[in-house]
Structure 1
Amino acid sequence: MENRKSKYVFIVLSVFCVMMIVLSSVKDGLMNPIRNTIGYVLVPLQEGVNRVGFGIYDQLRERKSLKEQEEQNKSLQEKIDVLTEENNVLKQNSEELKKLRELYSLDQNYLQYHKVAARVIAKDSENWFQVFRIDKGSRDGIRVDQNVMANGGLVGIVTDVGLNYATVRSIIDDESRVSCMGIQTSDNCIVAGDLKLYEEGRLRITNMKKDAVIQDGDRIVTSNISSKFMPGILVGYAIGIEEDEKRLMKNGYLIPAADFNDLSAVLVITDVKSDQFQTKDSSGAEPAALSETNPESSAGSSAAEGENVPVVEAGSLPESSSSEGSETSSGESAESSAPQ
């Protein structure tokens, strides 16, 4: 029975093989209809499958590319942030180095004075450093009436001292009066603070003799006759010097040497002018400098009497009480209408 079934299977397979041989030997023209039919059905289906497949592939590739770009952008942004921070630090260090060099240069210009460097930590006004605080105090040797310099010239004077801080009133403050002189001519004058006028970058120069020869551009420095400011410190440059309306004195303006818009570091002269007076008093000599008064009131009384205002030449100090009286009447020693 099993042999008979195997025989039938063999016969069927043999017939199938013969048919396939016959079909394969038939000319291509007989197979074209079948091929066309199969192609008509399969080609659109294949195109659709390819379209979907390529669409999915493109999306996956775009997502991968987008993710890679995002990671690359993130990495680049991190590098940019690091470089920006380093650049800012370098700029700050460069500015700090520049200011330190300026302080060093300023220190070298006044080697005759002992000085302490300090940083500005606060100010009382929004616009300028008319009154500000520094990070050095009594434990660092800071005392009231010590002079403060920065940016190439005189900045102000110490008015209050704590253990680790001090308050400085600048020369642009309305209450500031500094006894000065022209370094080229030795003519004495008063530099008066004026916040409103400083909006134009200037301060006032007053109380010059009628025959004073200070000219525009002359350097103005602190005078020997000051009772609070050490002599020879650059204050600024004269401009617009002319006689007053009564033709009794000359007045003008001063361009400060220091920049009061940006103060970050200063030098404090630890020498105090009053110590020099005490030293001279103890040795039996008269004090060289005179007490401060209000320059406007004293100058006005002198002008009203028609008196000539005496001038103390640079490099010579008055040694008698008569000199003190004449200077007080002329107002040339007046530096502050309020304590400084």
Structure 2
Amino acid sequence: MKIKNQNTIPSKYLLLILIVVCGILLGVERFADGGGPLRFIGNYTIVPMQKGISYVGMWLSDFTDNFKTMEELKKENESLQEKVDELTIDNTRLRQDQYELERLQELFKLDRNYADYEKIGAHVIAGNGTNWFSSFTIDKGSNDGIRKDMNVLAGSGLVGIVTEVGPDYAQVRSIIDDESNVSGMILSTSDLCMIRGDLKLMNDGRIKFEKLPNNDNTIEVGEQVVTSHISSRFLQGLFIGYISEIQVDSNNLTRSGYITPAVDFSKLQEVLVITSTKQDLIERKNAEKEGE
């Protein structure tokens, strides 16, 4: 005796299901504007997938292009930075050349102002470790004809005197040094005074003078002060500076005050060394007298 399979769908029901599916597909075809059921299914499945793949492809393409653009911009930026660095260096060199030219022009004027003296130029190569060049080293020495007690000029006038000489260098003590004493003269009246160095006063940009006779000669602020003819080591007539303050001393016999120096002792870079000392001039004059 055969037992019927309870899970088997009768043929009439299968036919009915197929008819219903066909009807649904025909209806769908009408909504899909005659594109067919496959097109309808594709519109809702394959097409969105294609759009997604297309968006991903476009994003990857844009990312690659942006990456290339960033690399190009980076290289361009590096190239521009190199040009900026080169221009900065060139500009710095031009400024240095300009400042050096201005300083050399000042030395040239100074050389012309003291044309009676032979001079040699030198660079300052070392200071004394302070803000003021109270003593310093130059790059010329005995091999260049530099000798002790030669007078040194810069800016508009007297800087100091050579105190020590080596083969290729020399030490200079400036007139602002605490150990410096210079015999000065008021240019307008020929009155003599003593000028003493004092580094503490240089913070105010001045040096001190004293022992100026309190006579009938009127001396005012702004008068020029030069080295005197009685100085034992400094040549006569070297410009020292301008009187900035003057007063009568308590003894009523002398006057004292302050001088604004003609040289900026905080910015010395080049100097002129007069190659004749005061002793050389004295010996020369004595020889001329003996030859008369």
Task: Give me the TM-score of the superposition, normalised by structure 1.
Answer: 0.73
Where does residue 98 of structure 1 map in the other structure?
Answer: 102
Structure 1 residue 169 corresponds to structure 2 residue 169 = no
Is the 8 Å Cα contact of residues 222 and 230 (structure 1) preserved in structure 2?
Answer: yes
Structure 1 residue 266 corresponds to structure 2 residue 268 = no
Where does residue 118 of structure 1 map in the other structure?
Answer: 122
| Amino acid paired to 1:201 | G
Where does residue 311 of structure 1 map in the other structure?
Answer: none
Where does residue 228 of structure 1 map in the other structure?
Answer: 233
Structure 1 residue 242 corresponds to structure 2 residue 253 = no
Please list the CA deviations of residues 176-216 of structure 1 after superposition, one character each: whole Å capped at 9, or x if unmatched. Answer: 01111111121111111000011110100111001242210
Mapping of residues 156-305 of structure 1, within 5 Å: 156-211=160-215, 212-281=217-286
Where does residue 17 of structure 2 map in the other structure?
Answer: none
The alpha-carbon deviation at position 34 of structure 1 amounts to 3.4
Where does residue 141 of structure 1 map in the other structure?
Answer: 145
The alpha-carbon deviation at position 276 of structure 1 amounts to 2.5
Distance 1:30 1:146 in 2: 115
The alpha-carbon deviation at position 144 of structure 1 amounts to 0.7
Cα RMSD (Å): 1.8
Distance 1:230-1:33 versus aligned 2 partners, 3 A rule: same
Please list the CA deviations of residues 70-118 of structure 1 after superposition, one character each: whole Å capped at 9, or x if unmatched. Answer: 0000000111111111111111111111111111110000001110111
SS in 1 for 2:91: helix
SS in 1 for 2:189: coil
Distance 2:282 2:221 in 1: 34
Where does residue 38 of structure 1 map in the other structure?
Answer: 42
Is the 8 Å Cα contact of residues 125 and 131 (structure 1) preserved in structure 2?
Answer: no
SS in 2 for 1:195: coil
SS in 1 for 2:35: helix
Distance 1:261 1:76 in 2: 38
The alpha-carbon deviation at position 33 of structure 1 amounts to 3.8
The alpha-carbon deviation at position 55 of structure 1 amounts to 1.5
Distance 1:232 1:277 in 2: 15
Distance 2:53 2:288 in 1: 113
Where does residue 54 of structure 2 map in the other structure?
Answer: 50
Please list the CA deviations of residues 249-298 of structure 1 after superposition, one character each: whole Å capped at 9, or x if unmatched. Answer: 1001000000110111000001111122234455678xxxxxxxxxxxxx
Distance 1:231-1:46 versus aligned 2 partners, 3 A rule: same
Select which of 93, 108, 111 maps to 2:112.
108
Q: Runs of at least 4 residues of structure 1 off by over 6 A?
A: none
Unaligned runs of 5+ in 1: 1-25, 286-340
Distance 1:39 1:124 in 2: 91
Structure 1 residue 64 corresponds to structure 2 residue 76 = no
Distance 1:104 1:183 in 2: 23
* Structure of larger gyration radius: 2
Q: Calculate percent identity across the aligned residue pairs.
A: 46
| Amino acid paired to 1:230 | L
Task: Give me the TM-score of the superposition, normalised by structure 2.
Answer: 0.85
Distance 1:29 1:280 in 2: 128
Is the 8 Å Cα contact of residues 187 and 213 (structure 1) preserved in structure 2?
Answer: no
Distance 2:254 2:238 in 1: 24
The alpha-carbon deviation at position 30 of structure 1 amounts to 4.0
Please list the CA deviations of residues 150-187 of structure 1 after superposition, one character each: whole Å capped at 9, or x if unmatched. Answer: 01110000001111111100000001011111111211
The alpha-carbon deviation at position 233 of structure 1 amounts to 0.8
Structure 1 residue 75 corresponds to structure 2 residue 74 = no
Is the 8 Å Cα contact of residues 135 and 164 (structure 1) preserved in structure 2?
Answer: yes
Distance 2:205 2:152 in 1: 20
Distance 1:78 1:95 in 2: 26
Is the 8 Å Cα contact of residues 124 and 132 (structure 1) preserved in structure 2?
Answer: yes
Unaligned runs of 5+ in 2: 1-28
Mapping of residues 286-325 of structure 1, within 5 Å: none
| Amino acid paired to 2:80 | L
Mapping of residues 13-32 of structure 1, within 5 Å: 29-32=33-36
